[in-house]
Structure 1
Amino acid sequence: METFPSLAGPFALGTFSAGAGPAFPGLVAGERVLDLSGHAATTRALLERWDEVLPLLHEAAAAAEGEWRPLAGLRVHAPVEPRQILQSGANYRTHVIDLAVAHEPAGGRPAEQVRAEVAAMMDRRAAEDQPYVFIGLPSSVTGPYDDVVIPAWCEKPDWELELAAVIGRPAFRVAQEDALEHVAAYTVANDITARELVFRRDMPEIGTDWLRAKNAPTFTPLGPYLVPAGFVPDPSSLRVTLRLNGEVMQDESTKDMIFDVARLVSYASQTVELRPGDLVLTGSPAGNGLHWGRLLRPGDVMEGTITGLGTQRNRCRDER
């Protein structure tokens, strides 16, 4: 069970259950949880009244009253059920460069040449281009300590640890300079990907197939908690670290992002009306399994940590 000292700020929000009881929204402060079901049925309902709720959460965290429960006795679920998930692709410089080198055909250009060319392309993207954003399915979300189930058809499952921005105020066609005002909180997401299905071999002219590659049940471990944005002064200065069976595979700062959180939220909102509880995933840094030549197997344990947001821990198992 993840403990409080790794969290930024005096409290966070989550979704919990006790035994076979129903899930409820809770305020996490130290090693205890305050049941908030008297105020709302879900954390998403709290986010829908975020400007009103946030001051009350500050007061509740500082008070001794209320129905507090030991955190250790509760099951931790995904902290929110989003209506929409907007995912950013190819958003870390080093990751994109590594992928380009990995996909270079045998006997092709030297790795140094590929790295130099792609680095120059990344600079042009940051200055002149737009983010690449696609849609994920809420049905892929699972809890921060739940198993990741590898489907029988999945041959190359891979990890992608990411910072996720959680929308509070509705956002539609917001300017970049105003975008962070619509972010209520941040959390940890792992965007599991079936690498062999990213590109359609039968229809290469169509391009990527994100439906099958990323949206199987349990392919988006989320949480453990929602950490209010006010406790995360600079989302572009966080460490994203994933360990596989205790070995560090990803370890990068969000400074390596090509497009920051504000730019991603603003860009997505030009097309989509972002609603409370929606997630904007910001892309994954270098160090995926494809880079290491070591993909996920049944029995593997992933531990994903982002500065101040806690740690998720998921074991992989074969659905068979």
Structure 2
Amino acid sequence: MTTAPYALARYRDGDAVRVGLVAGDRVRPLDADELGGGLNDFLSDPDWDRIAALVDAPAAWHPLSDVTVTAPVEPRQVLQTGANYREHVIQLVAAGLTQNTDRTPEEARAFAADMMDERARSGEPYFFIGLPACVVGDDVPLVLPGYSDVHDWELELAVVIGKEAFRVSREEALDHVAGYTIVNDITTRDLVFRKDMKEIGTDWYRAKNAPGFLPTGPLLVPARFVDPADTDVRLELNGQVMQDANTSDLLFDVPALVSAASQTHPLLPGDLLLTGSPAGNGQHWKRFLRDGDVMTATIGALGTQVVRCVGEAS
């Protein structure tokens, strides 16, 4: 499931959910003594060497295919980053400029590129908040609410916070990252902007927080096995590639994001910080999610997430 030597997962065991150690195509349960408490207790001071030693220790291993893996994290906070892939934002800005000015497409793109480079030099990341209750595993079908026909995908590399981060510098930021996982940040496009009072601007609560709108996992991969500055991000819809990018295109990298987010409020062990989504979402393709769609997402060594869409029953 992963190209990393090992990772953590959470899987269903009857009515309970257990934390497991994944190595190759097998999984074994981790008890509280091995973790040093619950999952977030471990992430507050992760001893990955101790976990690595368990890979070869005698234990009750199971085939990974025999268990139902669910979301690998239990965040208390979810922070999301907007407009953070340079090429994606250039496309959006340039499209708007060519519609509203006399610039040629080439002139509009050059102007937008200069804007983004200046933003990376002197600007700040754009954050908003998601509901932790929306975090689910890909074992849960994505129910598409019947109040809209424009539900969209946004595949993102997600940072899993380790020890608490509060007002940390960029140089210190990666010391507070325990690992990474996959998140598909589902968005209902026609709810993003308020129609009754445009001056209010964006309505991220209604647009992004329906049940199950943050499919997460399947794995939590230790930070030591992921290069957040050079990791491929790829999403297929029914076998067709829709998003295909690399995190090298991030305007604000992971240290910048963790540092900036921590200036306002402490980031807690197990929290998720989404890093933004590249070009190629449904709004670009003029193709939104439908009943029966299957999204297959891969990000570097983080495994494969498969999300099945179902229409909401009337």
The interval holding the TM-score normalised by the smaller chain is over 0.9
Provide the rounded CA distance (Å) in 1 between the counterparts of 2:67 and 2:154: 27
What RMSD over aligned residues (CA atoms) do the two structures have, in Å?
Answer: 1.7
Normalised by the size of structure 2, how large is the TM-score? 0.94
Task: Describe the superposition over 1:105-159 as per-residue Cα deviations: whole angstroms up to 9, x where unpaired.
Answer: 8575544343222211101100111111111110111103421111111231111
2:259 aligns with one of 266, 271, 293: 266
Q: How many correspondences in the alignment?
A: 310
- Match among 6, 10, 14 for residue 15 of structure 1: 10
CA distance change for structure 1 residues 175 and 238 in 2, over 3 Å: closer, same or farther? Answer: same
Q: Is the 8 A contact 1:158 1:195 kept in 2?
A: yes
- Structure 1 residue 26 corresponds to structure 2 residue 16: no
1:289 to 262, 282, 286: 282
- Is 1:220 matched up with 2:214? yes
- Given that 2:9 and 2:21 are in contact with CA atoms closer than 8 Å, whether structure 1 keeps it comes out as yes
1:59 to 53, 57, 69: 53
Bigger drift between 128-137 and 144-153 goes to 144-153
Greater alpha carbon shift after TM alignment, 29-38 vs 159-168? 29-38
Which position in structure 1 is the counterpart of 2:120? 126
Q: Which amino acid aligns with 1:303?
A: T
Counterpart position of 2:62: 69
Q: More displaced, 54-63 or 202-211?
A: 54-63
For 2:154, the equivalent position in structure 1 comes to 160
How big is the shift at 1:104?
6.0
Aligned partners of 2:145, 2:7: CA distance in 1, in Å? 33
The two structures have a TM-score, normalised by structure 1, of 0.92
Q: What is the distance in 2 between the residues matched to 1:138 and 1:155?
A: 24
1:200 equivalent in alignment to 2:200:
no
Tell me, which stretches of 5 or more residues in structure 1 are unaligned? none
Q: Distance in 2 between matches of 1:268 and 1:249?
A: 29
Deviation at 1:237, TM superposition (A): 0.3
Amino acid at match of 2:297: G
Shift of 1:212: 0.6
2:145 to 142, 148, 151: 151
Q: CA-to-partner distance for each residue in 1:191-219, whole Å, 9 max, x for gaps?
A: 01111111112111111110011111111
**Paired AA for residue 273 in structure 1:** P
Deviation at 1:42, TM superposition (A): 4.3
Give the Cα separation in 2 of the matches to 1:192 and 1:102: 23
Instruction: Determine if contact 1:161/1:240 at 8 Å carries over to the other structure.
Output: yes
1:15–1:42 CA contact under 8 A, matched in 2: no
Offset, 1:67: 2.6
- Matched residue, 2:246: 253
Contact 1:12-1:28 within 8 A present in 2 as well: yes
Q: Shift of residue 94 of structure 1?
A: 1.3
Q: Distance in 2 between matches of 1:144 and 1:228?
A: 20
| Shift of residue 293, structure 1, vs aligned partner | 1.1
Deviation at 1:102, TM superposition (A): 5.0
* SS of alignment partner, residue 205 of structure 1: helix
3-state DSSP class of the match of 2:200? coil
Task: Decide which of 100, 108, 115 is 1:114's aligned counterpart.
Answer: 108
